[in-house]
Chain A
Amino acid sequence: MTELHLPWLECSILIPLVTAAGVRRISEQDAARRISTAVCLVTLLCTLGAWADFSTLHSSAASDPWDVLSLLFHRPMLVVDALSAPLLPLAGLLYLLTVATTSRTKVNRFSFTWTLISEAVLLATLSCRDPWILTFLLSAATIPPWMEFRMRSRPTRIYVLHMGLFVVLLVTGVWLTYADPSPAGPSVIGTGLIGMAALLRSGVVPLHCWITDLFENVSFGTALLFLTPMTGAYAVIRLVLPVAPDRMLQTIAVLSLTTAVYAAGMALVQTESRRFFCYLFLSHSSLVLAGLQVVTPIGLTGALCVWLSVGLSLLGFGLTLRSVEARTGRLSLNRYHGLIEHTPVLAALFLLTGLSSIGFPGTVGFVGTELLVEGAAGVSAMVGLAPVVAAMLNGIAVLHAWFRVFTGTRRETTASMECRVSERLSGVALIALIIAGGLFPQPGVSSRYQAAVELMNSRHESPQTPSAQVSLQTASFQTVPGKPLGPTDHSGPAIRH
């Protein structure tokens, strides 16, 4: 396998992991926040380095040089490919902005040690393609939120029940599917169990109650860090998509689309800002998951684009809401708060990131949503209708929340609610990315198309169940480093303009 020029992946994982032990010994939480911010910044630079390095190699995948783990397993364990290359910096950015914007009033509730550990686990997950190590990492990632439940003396039963089931399903599924490769192809039962685990982790209805419980009981930052990377969707791509029969993917798509519409409807009737955000996120992440099951290049490209755009937008939206909550406490959406006079910057960020998440023109979400809707509509008219309805409801919900939080009354306050420097910088960086991605979408779309083609190829190369083999006869792709990608024979339902 092609090697990167520097061990970016190992550095990005080891730096937060090693520093976590040091941060644990710092008694002053504000100092811990500053150090953690610096560590997250360095980690982000490493992930950006990995992306840039990978882009120069024109390879389908690349591993670290001097990979210590490969000595143990006799194959490269940390790999960056077209799918994960932008996801790594996105994860790095998520952690950096979350840590940097943690207000001083909240630092005592937010564990920087566990945050750095979870960052290392997340980056390792996104750099890993081995089913067993991936299973271990996905399972390990459930521990930091559980620790926070415990530290805050909150009831853990719902979380433990769901995440315990997730781990059991995942381990059993991977064992049945990958432990003993059968000549007849992977076990359908095993793949189904992995699929169920991924659906549970993604919060697909009716297995979503743990997500609302998480937002209720842990800090907003921890909930954001656990959910925004959408590791459930990542598990589907790595473990389910290559081997699952068509019927299973269609089932996942239908369940995800149902969740997208249901969660959008629920977001509209929530009376509390945190629960509103939870359902809004659930709706968007379900759209991504649904798009991934539309195994056409256009649909997959759309889903991967929306993954990035929703990651950026809802990160900004969530952080803005978190900053507002840091000033006012949890917000009721049953009445108007009129905060715009006191926090105009946060109001602007809330509106722009919210509009971006629904795929508004001129923002990073627009083209991805268009592609996703067209990919879904290519499968069937009803499937195409669901994202449109979800986007409509989400759009209404976003502006409803904005009006409730920032307008409607004149709020009297003696304390300053102005944005801090770190919040302003974080916001401006996100807005710049959102608008730049919206005005110049071609590089992002090309990169996601390449990832989509490689995913199609991975599905083609894996031992398939008969139905999957039949479906793949309709679309096969060639990926040759340095040469243009394209279908050799395509008769799928993608829409041509």
Chain B
Amino acid sequence: MTQPELLHILGVATVAAPAFLLLALGGLWLAGIPVRERTSAHLTHASVMTGLLAAAGILVLMLTTGIRNVPIELGNWVEIPEEHFHFHLKFAFDRLSVPFVILSFVLCGTVGAFANVYLHREPGYRRFFLFYAVFLLGMTVSSLAATIETLFLGWELVGISSALLVAFFHDRTAPVRNGQRVWSVYRFADAAFLIAALTMHHLTGSGDFDGLMGTGPWPDSTASISSRHALFVGLLLLTAAAGKSGMIPFSGWLPRAMEGPTPSSAIFYGALSVHLGAYLLLRVSPVLAASVPLQICVILIGGMSAVFGAVASRVQSDVKSALAFASLTQVGIIVVEIGLGLHYVPLIHMIGHACLRTLQLLRAPSLLRDHHTLQNAIGGLHAQHNGGPLSDILSPHQRNWLYRFALERGYLDAFLDEFIVRPFTRLFRYTDFLERRWTEFLSGSDSRQSVSEAFSDQSVDDLG
């Protein structure tokens, strides 16, 4: 077997393993065939290990041979040759994607093993692993995508699995409302992403990242579009990344997402999903480098998110929310690093942070036990921390204001509700009212036989 053939087989196996898991779990679920927990765990284990070993194999080959970019062509999923239209399924293994996909497999494998015990005999066990399979496929496809359409495909899979896992405990209202909130923000981010993809097509005539970022493997490539175009596309991608990673002004959904079971919180908001926006920015870093104003925007968004996350995490009353904002701080710093034009530093930062945060979130349910263990070990109460350097600088009034600002999570949710969601719903409720008047005028009677209730404020909150 030649080296290119071996690379191709390993590349296909990396993507096929999670796809197989989804097909197996989804197919059995749709067919109504009950799957035992053990079978589900074995399938998950086998899929993750296959993907991980294949990706690691590619890494070894790349290191030994010095190859920096391994494109895996799966052909055209859809094509209209006469119009030169191709939906190209192409994956790229390079210095960015290989570490990230290996990270994805390692952390998904860890969380899968943890969830197998954590959710043992839970009614939603099968559902969890089905959504987990969707997420794993989405992460793998997003990490390895070599075209923007392929990346979008994975991006959407991550989005839906994320929203459904936040609403995992579906017999309570709060998780469901938070799941809806996450989904709404994701859809907004997806729309920005799709518009960016369309603009890229217009500018470069291709959806390949190679076409956008010129020749040369990452990170040495140079953008092949003008500074003005880079600013436009880059801002759209920054919006998409901000939505996906919970950066300002979309940070409100991040603590809400902690309503899901601990394993999903760990994998989504501590480890992988929250870094996907930063990964996107890193992938298109040549575009960022083409426009200084764009770099400034990236640094500003990242910096503000980091500061906000640091302030908000200090006043959270539950450990998972505190960890969520701590994640945001690190993601913000990673984005600043990307804005400063660094490549390997944010990548290493991302990997290190994801591993640490996964560990912290998985230990979160046993926090009190850990704390008591620590107290026993040191032989007394842990020293209380009575404020940081800011407490000496700020006046009591300013401290109170900052405390409230942090406690209210920067009023970001309230801001989005007040200035986007409510005007939108008010407008359409008003047109609904006008329609009702119009149909009643035409029919000469009450036009609505069905349940007719006012659109509740709770509904407005959900949609936000």
Contacts and interface: CB of A to CB of B under 8 A. Distances in A.
B170 A497 contact: no
Contact of A217 (B29, B198, B449, B454): B449
A194 B194 CA distance: 35
Contacts of B87: 367, 370, 497
A318 B83 CA distance: 35
Contacts, number: 204
Given A269-B429, A486-B82, A213 B439 contact: yes
Contacts of A268: 424-425, 428, 463
B30 A496 contact: no
B170 A158 contact: no
Contact of B78 (A270, A334, A345, A367): A367
A348 B205 contact: no
A407 interface: yes
A409 B170 CA distance: 7
A14 interface: no
A154 to B, nearest CB: 8
Interface residues of B, number: 74
A497 B201 contact: yes
Contacts of A449: 80, 82-83
Interface residues of A, number: 77
A441 interface: yes
Interface stretch (A40-48, A123-131, A240-248, A396-404): A396-404
B439 A212 contact: yes
A24 interface: no
Nearest to B439: A209
Interface stretch (A52-60, A66-74, A387-395): A387-395
Contact of A403 (B29, B176, B191, B453): B176
Contacts of A330: 450-451
Interface string B141-169: 00000000100110011001001000100
B331 to A, nearest CB: 24
Nearest to A208: B435
Nearest to B421: A268
Contact of B191 (A275, A367, A388, A406): A388
A494 B86 CA distance: 12
A355 interface: yes
Interface string A446-485: 1001000000000000000000000000000000000011
A367 B76 CA distance: 12
Contacts of B191: 388-389, 391-392
Interface in B398-420: none
25 contacts: A157-B442, A158-B443, A158-B447, A209-B435, A209-B439, A216-B449, A217-B449, A265-B428, A270-B432, A297-B82, A333-B459, A334-B454, A348-B30, A374-B198, A384-B195, A385-B195, A407-B167, A407-B170, A407-B176, A408-B177, A428-B30, A442-B78, A442-B79, A445-B78, A497-B205
Interface of B: 29-32, 77-88, 149, 152-153, 156-157, 160, 163, 167, 170-173, 176-177, 179-180, 183-184, 187-188, 190-191, 194-195, 198, 201-202, 205-207, 424-425, 427-429, 431-432, 435, 438-439, 442-445, 447-456, 458-459, 462-463
